[in-house]
């Protein structure tokens, strides 16, 4: 009888220790998820190539082009797949034309974006990052975006 109680106690303690370890692993994986966006090659490519004109830190009045978050919000609608998003961006970058624009206000303000020499692979990595992760936005953007949506209604 004494052996049964001892074995039961040992098994119970082992069970508790396993449960604690699984929680620690889960917490580690969750913090790892946060760092994945920083490691994504598309993030660095976007910061290097796109932020030259589409900077998230430029003021509303002193910018060369809309911020990348505006591009994302104009190209991704409810149900837009990553493939559709990527193809739309690729078509625009390969041959930007006024009649193909999705951001008419930006074209009126900044003109049509110049054709860019980036490879399909570079653009695909950037759009992959943009689609899957939150991207940096200027302080003024959310209010501006809500105002623009309200004006369209």
At residue 29, the pLDDT reads 47
The helices-and-strands tally (H runs, E runs) of the chain is 7, 0
Of residues 135, 73, 153, the one with CA closest to residue 106: 73
pLDDT tens, residue by residue, 30-47: 445 556 778 999 999 999
The more confident residue out of 93 and 29 is 93
At residue 35, the pLDDT reads 61
At residue 22, the pLDDT reads 44
CA dist 34 and 38 (Å) reads 8
Q: How many CB atoms neighbour CB 129 within 10 A?
A: 20
pLDDT tens, residue by residue, 59-95: 889 999 999 999 999 999 899 999 999 999 999 999 9
Return the half-sphere exposure (C-beta side, CA atoms, 13 A cut-off) of residue 33.
9
């Amino acid at each position: 009888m004494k052996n049964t109680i001892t074995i039961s106690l040992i098994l119970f303690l082992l069970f508790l220790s396993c449960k604690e370890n699984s929680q620690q692993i889960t917490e580690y994986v969750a913090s790892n998820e946060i760092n994945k966006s920083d490691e994504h090659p598309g993030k660095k490519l976007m910061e290097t190539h796109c932020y030259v004109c589409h900077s998230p830190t430029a003021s509303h009045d002193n910018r060369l082009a809309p911020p990348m978050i505006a591009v994302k919000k104009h190209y991704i609608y409810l149900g837009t797949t990553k493939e559709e998003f990527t193809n739309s961006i690729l078509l625009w970058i390969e041959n930007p034309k006024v009649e193909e624009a999705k951001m008419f206000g930006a074209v009126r303000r900044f003109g049509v974006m110049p054709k860019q020499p980036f490879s399909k692979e570079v653009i695909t990595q950037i759009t992959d990052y943009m689609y899957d992760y939150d991207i940096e936005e200027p302080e003024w953007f959310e209010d501006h975006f809500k105002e623009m949506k309200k004006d369209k209604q």
